[in-house]
Amino acid sequence: MAGYLLAGASAIALVIIASVLIRKLRSASDDGDPAGPTVAHAGSMISALFLIAFAIAIVVPWTTADAARLNTYAESQAIAEASWSAAELPAASVATIQTGLHDYARFVKDAEWPLMADGKLSPEGWARLEDLRKGVVDLQVKGNDEEEAQASVLQHISEISATRRQRAMDAAATPPPSLLGVTVATGLAVLVLPLLGGARPRGMALLPLALMAVLLGMGIYLTVDISRVFDGALAVTPDAFSGLLSELQRISWSA
């Protein structure tokens, strides 16, 4: 933050120095007109800065949300594949492993998903995965088919762990606070610049100013609302796990 303040102070100092030098080196006319070159130039630049910051504040969460949504489907697919592979394990352990996978998916959808709106995952989810992994490792398998099934289930559990770690990163990801700060600051500057330049709108001239204020407020609120992947207008929903639970039920019936 200190760096941003220093940069801002340096820019202001540069403007003051340039203004003084220009007055000394050449004749310059005063510019107090609200529609004059100073206000017009500042307005166009501030508007451009706001649009750049606003676009980045929208695009970054949007892209992150799309990637996070795809990752939830990758995680659910890994769980389904693990359940299919578990069907080839020793008969006495099939139901235990498949039930563990089903319970993990149910836990993520019902208990863990609300926590991700605050940017965190439950430690219980990791414990459930470790218990599943340990249960598969400890199985006494015989023959090539059962050994291959055991290796396949362990591989899919590793994939589940990897996608879960990515989901944890997605849940915690937010745009830089400075970006949201710049968006808010430039939005407010766009709104009050005509007033700071000396304009005093009256009557019908207040309507477009009020409309701009409303739209700017909505836009700034949107950038804050979508800052977390699993919360707000762009929130990733547990659709992948809802469909997965039905699929796991069919797999268990087929086993």
| Tens of pLDDT, residues 74-86 | 999 999 999 999 9
* Residue pair 137/154 in contact by the 8 Å Cβ criterion: yes
For CA atoms 154, 156, 162, 167, the dihedral sign is: negative
Contact 135, 249 (CB under 8 A): no
Tell if the pTM clears 0.75, that is, is over it.
Answer: yes
**Inside any domain, residue 15:** no
Check residues 15 and 227 and name the one with the higher pLDDT.
227
| Residue 8 resides in a domain | no
pLDDT at 114: 93
Within a domain: 7: no
> Is position 80 within any domain?
yes
Residue in 230, 224, 227, 226 with CA at minimum distance from that of residue 71: 230
| Cα 8 versus chain centre, distance | 28
* Residue listed under structure tokens 């019936």: 253
Q: Per-residue pLDDT for 32 more than 80? A: no
Domain-located, residue 36:
no
Structure confidence at residue 177 (pLDDT): 84
- Does 199 or 247 have the greater pLDDT score? 247
Give per-residue pLDDT as tens, 159-197: 999 999 999 999 998 888 888 888 888 888 888 877 776
Closest of 183, 112, 103, 172 to residue 135, by C-alpha: 103
Phi and psi at 89, nearest 5°, equal -75, 170
Element of type H or E holding 87: none
**Mean of the pLDDT values across residues 135-141?**
90
88-136 residue pLDDT tens: 998 889 999 999 999 999 999 999 999 999 999 999 999 999 999 999 9
Average pLDDT, the chain: 84
Among the residue ranges 33-37, 64-68, 69-73, 225-229, the one predicted with the least confidence is 33-37
The CA-atom distances, in angstroms, between 221 and each of 12, 86, 189, 216 are 29, 47, 16, 8
Distance, in Å, from the CA atom of 129 to the CA atom of 6, rounded to the nearest integer, reads 49
Q: Per the domain annotation, does 13 fall within a domain?
A: no
Dihedral (CA of 160, 165, 171, 176) sign: negative
In the chain, how many domains are there? 1
| Amino acid 92: pLDDT | 87
Query: 3-state SS string over 181-215?
Result: HHHHHHHHHHHHHHHHCCCCCCHHHHHHHHHHHHH
pLDDT grade for 38, boundaries at 50, 70 and 90: low
pLDDT in the model for residue 255: 55
Res 21 pLDDT > 90? no
Q: If pLDDT is split at 50, 70 and 90, which confidence band does 2 have?
A: low
Percent of the chain with pLDDT over 90: 42
Instruction: Give residue 223's domain range.
Output: 42-254
Element (H, E) at 70: helix 37-86
Quote the pLDDT of residue 190. 83
Does residue 107 belong to any structural domain of this protein?
yes
Query: Is residue 179 situated within a structural domain?
Result: yes
Kindly tell me if the per-residue pLDDT of 49 is higher than 70: yes
pLDDT at position 35, please? 58
SS3 56: helix
**Whole-number pLDDT of residue 211:** 85
Yes or no: say if 226 and 62 are a contact pair by the CB < 8 Å rule. Answer: yes
pLDDT of residue 9: 60
